[in-house]
Amino acid sequence: MNKRIKVCSIVMIVVMLMTLVSCGKNAGEKAQKRSGENGATPTVTAANSSPSATPTEAPTNTPTPTEVLPTPTPTGFWAPEKGCAIAFSEGERYHYDMNLVLDTKADTVSGHVEFDFWNDSEDAWDKLCLRDYSSVFLNGKVAGYDSKTVNAHAALTEISGIIDGRDKSELSFTRDTDVSVVWIPLAKPLAPGEKMTLTYDFTAKIPTLADRYGVYEDIYNVSNFYPVLAEYVNGAWSHEKFIAAGECFFSEIADFDVRITVPEGFLLASSGTEKGKEEKDGKLVYTLDAPCIRSFVFCASDCFAVKDATYDGVHVNVFYNGRKVPAKDMDTCVDQTLTCARDSLAAFGEAFGRYPYEELDIVYAPIDAGGMEYPNLVIITTLYCDPIVRGPEDAPIYSYEEMKICVAHEIGHQWFMGIVGSNSGLEPWLDESITSYTEHVYEDYLGIKVNGPIVDLWSLEQRTTEEILSNWEQNGLLPLTQSYYDFRNDYKYVACIYETGRRALQKVEETLGKDLWYSILRAYVHRNAFRNATTQDFLDVLLSAVDMNDPEVNVVITKVFGL
């Protein structure tokens, strides 16, 4: 998530704070996903092709990866080459088969789900834990909106027809005090490695909100809408509380086969790729294939227009409100967005490994954050391109340069959330700090500087790096490895994870050198692709590559990561 719009007041606090500081899976693979263990290693191949900027370029097939020897550093640390391909994990994965219906009169999404999975732990499961994030919106305080002034028309998700495919028995469920936590007792425990199919029906209410999950100005953002299996980690089901100011979504890689019925005239942006579309009973039925992703999301509207381009085999679609006027302003914004997508895919593909999916959708919608990330799809606030939003002398409040940084940030999440997952509530830096740092990678690739630090803490006279880092530490902004739940309030969380996170990782790059630091990040992505990683997984890579006997390296690594 990019917080630039939603946290305007927070940013003001951050400025004050910084000013103060400146003065002060297969079954075998999935069994290895637990904390501190390595999952499947994707195959890599060297690639030095550069993306084409021609919007009409025909799609090209992603090259089949072949094993090559990566280049070792002087310390003996091994990393993939720049621009390596990232192959999907081999073998069987979790699988969701969904028949969905978007009802725009009732503002609901309903569906029939068949979910194939297995127990990937060493413990027998006598119950399952599902997360039903749609029901969170019943409580405005929890979901992040003021229910006194906003009627979100929220409702508890209806769940029925829960069947254990092993014996066709019908299962019941209960909800925790946190209504998003759904418990399903199993009459027959699921043994380690044992497979099962869980079938269920649901109807979720889409709130009337300009939000990452909501409908506003005829655009439906439908994310985290279906009950999803929680992660089982270290002997327990993960069910931390919902976070409105950040992300808490934590799920396993799966393949999705989805059919969505929408009203006639609706265009659909989604995870995965469209495999077919047919008219049926006055409605449209989209068929979608979404392999190797963490969650399935979609956006839909009858006001959508779309412009597309293909860059290095990735088909990029930009969806926007085609009813907006003047059209020339939106046309320019969309063209700038496509350019940013091209440059982001090139920059991050070179630095971390190439984007492994066929498609990327970028949706302009009225949301209260700057942007929000999902697998193969990002949502960007319309404020960046709205010609009605004007400042002094009738100038747009938000520049295209700022918009591009937001778009680049959300595309960066395709690597750090999508390809490499993590528990973004307990270890948010693996998600948001690294992605905030990708803004710098994007700028460095283009040789520009838009997103400069609020205060240039690195060039302050008479201050050493250790003094600055110690000051950040004293003010609760380091180490980056803090949990969301460790912060006193959301202001501190934003200041640490977003703002300090970006600058601190830039300092790590400056200390280690860009080539080594990028190699470390590539190795981290390579070793943890399509699994959920932990801080320890990152440190295992980092500490194998650096010389902690170097005093400056020791200070920076120790303070930034809390060693």
User: Which mean pLDDT values do the consecutive 10-residue runs of the chain (563 residues) have?
Assistant: 54 36 35 36 35 35 36 68 93 96 98 97 98 96 91 97 97 96 97 98 97 96 97 94 84 97 98 96 97 97 96 96 75 93 98 98 93 96 74 64 94 97 95 97 91 50 78 91 92 92 95 96 97 96 95 95 93
Only one residue has tokens 């925790």, namely 176
Instruction: Supply the Cα-derived Rg of the chain in whole angstroms.
Output: 23
Angle, helix 400-412 to helix 327-352, in steps of 10 degrees: 40
Report the pLDDT value the prediction gives residue 512, as an integer from 0 to 100.
96
CA-to-CA dists, residue 456 to 434, 500, 545, angstroms? 19, 11, 28
Cα 364 from Cα 319, distance rounded (Å): 6
What is the arrangement of strands in the sheet containing 273-280, beginning at the earlier edge strand?
169-170, 158-164, 195-205, 108-118, 94-103, 254-263, 283-293, 273-280
Beta-bridge partners for 197: 116
Cα 397 from Cα 389, distance rounded (Å): 6
Token digits of residue 121: 């732990």
Only one residue has tokens 């889409």, namely 206
Answer yes or no: is 335 within a domain.
yes
Omega before residue 392 within 30° of 0, cis: no
**Nearest alpha carbon to residue 321 among 216, 420, 228, 394:** 216
Handedness of CA 554, 557, 562, 563 (dihedral sign): negative
Answer yes or no: is 217 within a domain.
no
Token digits of residue 63: 């090259």
End-to-end CA distance of the chain: 27
Give the number of other CB atoms < 10 A from CB of residue 148.
7
Report the pLDDT value the prediction gives residue 228, as an integer from 0 to 100.
97
CA-to-CA dists, residue 372 to 51, 232, 484, angstroms? 25, 26, 18
Answer yes or no: is 7 within a domain.
yes
Answer yes or no: is 529 within a domain.
yes
CATH for 505: 1.10.390.10
Report the pLDDT value the prediction gives residue 391, as an integer from 0 to 100.
58
Report the pLDDT value the prediction gives residue 360, as an integer from 0 to 100.
98
**DSSP 8-state assignment for residue 70:** P
Is 0.75 surpassed by the pTM of this model? yes
Answer yes or no: is 430 within a domain.
yes
Answer yes or no: is 26 within a domain.
yes
Name the residue type at position 66.
T
Q: Phi and psi (nearest 5°) for 311?
A: -125, 115
Report the pLDDT value the prediction gives residue 429, as an integer from 0 to 100.
97
Give residues with Cβ within 8 angstroms of 560, minimum separation 6. Answer: 469, 478, 479, 480, 504, 505, 507, 508
Pairing of the two strands 125-131 and 228-229:
antiparallel
Domain count, the chain: 1
Region at 562 (left for phi over 0; alpha for psi -120 to 50; beta for the rest): left
Q: Which domain holds residue 537?
A: 1-93+253-563
Cα 186 from Cα 127, distance rounded (Å): 5
**Nearest alpha carbon to residue 247 among 105, 81, 374:** 374
Only one residue has tokens 């303070």, namely 559
Pairing of the two strands 254-263 and 94-103:
parallel
Q: Determine contact, residues 376/357, Cβ cutoff 8 Å.
A: yes
Answer yes or no: is 20 within a domain.
yes
Cα 46 from Cα 545, distance rounded (Å): 21
Give residues with Cβ within 8 angstroms of 251, minimum separation 6. Answer: 131, 228, 229, 230, 231, 294, 295, 421
**Nearest alpha carbon to residue 34 among 533, 545, 550:** 533
Residue 103: strand, helix, or coil: strand
Cα 453 from Cα 470, distance rounded (Å): 18
Cα 340 from Cα 270, distance rounded (Å): 20
Token digits of residue 358: 């066929």
Answer yes or no: is 544 within a domain.
yes
Beta-bridge partners for 270: 298
